[in-house]
Structure 1
């Protein structure tokens, strides 16, 4: 039996979607935004409300609302209200990276978080929630004005609160989520200019940097986009900027490359021939370098530039992205290897990552697949895991929210 086409597996995916949605509801902060969840699913009060978590949870509950889950719409509205209120910088524009009880605790303007504002707003707009369309318009305008570098065809990284000081760094992680956000916004708005930007990002990162580095994607660059291959060598387990090649990001880029290719075709344009083969190469390299390479099941977090493991902890989001990439690759190619690996990745999740006792997934495991927290303590949000339950049930494109709005769930 092939799980990807089995009604019984889809029913299980649906039940897991609901389990995750129930867990994440505990993250709503009554003061505004969504908090960082601990292993028990309670807000970790030692942490501030962060922009990226608030946006990701707003996006997820927009998906829940479009799945017809009662109560999810209120969580979308809570997120939208927070992005139009508590997290928004009314003086200088844009959104604070983090806020506490008395106001902003990190007032930097970060491309990573601002990309997720676009994603959250696009999904909330697809769900028809009040205020979402205005939020999306503002988010795209801020990103276009402040972050988008048209000469480079990439996003800048971060600025001070008043935009007067720019970080002398460029990162692929923020650009990956900018690509994701632009694809979603282009679908919701019918904006081909945003799709064109998305194609420019994926072309430079995948067809240039990935192809030129044996499909191990450089993550860190100077302001002129020269790769910094030894960046954070002394802090290899950094949660956002780790040293070396990040296995999960290669899987994520593989999926996004396919989605960008199909989005071009859906818009009536020709997709470059390199895109599907490159997505397959990225995925293959990530599996080769990352899966079961140290005598234990699971994907390692990072490798060096020769493919040797560096940080060996198993992150839940890497397995989730492997599932999503395999599902999308199978839909795009119908190659049986992806269907087989899709089942393999879910078997690993079922054996090691699903937390039947406390809910959600363990966000990090040790090399021996025991719960750990060296890089990602707690269970901050449900974004990666929940998307892994929906990507197998939807076509390659459009993006998740507009695809649900179009009624594409479980269509052959």
Structure 2
């Protein structure tokens, strides 16, 4: 491979934990390079997350080198040449250069190699098929750097072949398009996605769910969601994904208000939730995720984007901060998607009320009801629920004495002269 350029060494490349791994892997003179996402994100100035390193050494040698240097080596994917090094409490994925011998769905039979270009050729997108030496020299055998700068998400080789190797790459393409793409999507990739969308039904629901949540973590997945809808990509497995404009609007509201992205909230914006009770099982959501999605579909209290901060306290008391926050943002997105102009200052004031909320507890309890002669049974809860509603209507202001007085009045009203 010929160098394609250089980047100045960055903090993640020169950090002591990284240097310890590099020193261990190169102790016997071997060449190793950073690969994949860390190279891609470094080239465009995005924060680098996972650090992956490629080496011609087989995993047994990698393990021995790491252990010799006093580093922990975990055989996370030994049959495919992957060892995880732990240095400075941070994981580094070390993978032996590979080439595919045979592919079948998600899996492939691979052979280890010392050919860097052959290894790059088996990766999904050109922007993920770049290497970077520890000194910052970049190697780019398939034009990924130009594609990255231009906002082109392009498969290595023929899109048709790469998609058929693993149909999840259909969704992975749109995830990368949402994160890195600009303009129209790559025509070959889009044709392959359309042609094989029906094959998504052959994938495990967990894989689809995981990929969709990653897609929804993009800064603005709305335009990609529109392409997905217009070309029927998710129709075979998730026909409810039809509200791309509402998803776009939610991303804009989140950005305007400085709200941390929550992919499940975005999923609620994107999907038609009229059958939310079926989605959890179909997507293999966790019980917590399933419950939250159902509550967003049919909340026990109404939350509107035009509610005054004081009026938000009732649903906050009933539903809790997290659910009210999501309902509030979704309501704002609904209005924005319908073409309404939102009052950013008013929205921000409501959000501040939500974030500042501290749970409040009615100053009286069942013991106080029993002390007034009410026998154990469902009537105690009914009285407390009614008193709680009275207390909430007064903005939680009545203290214990006032609440006890109201409770006595209600009990006495049920048994006049008693």
TM-score, normalized by length of structure 1?
A: 0.29
Give the structure with the higher percent strand.
2
Larger radius of gyration: 2
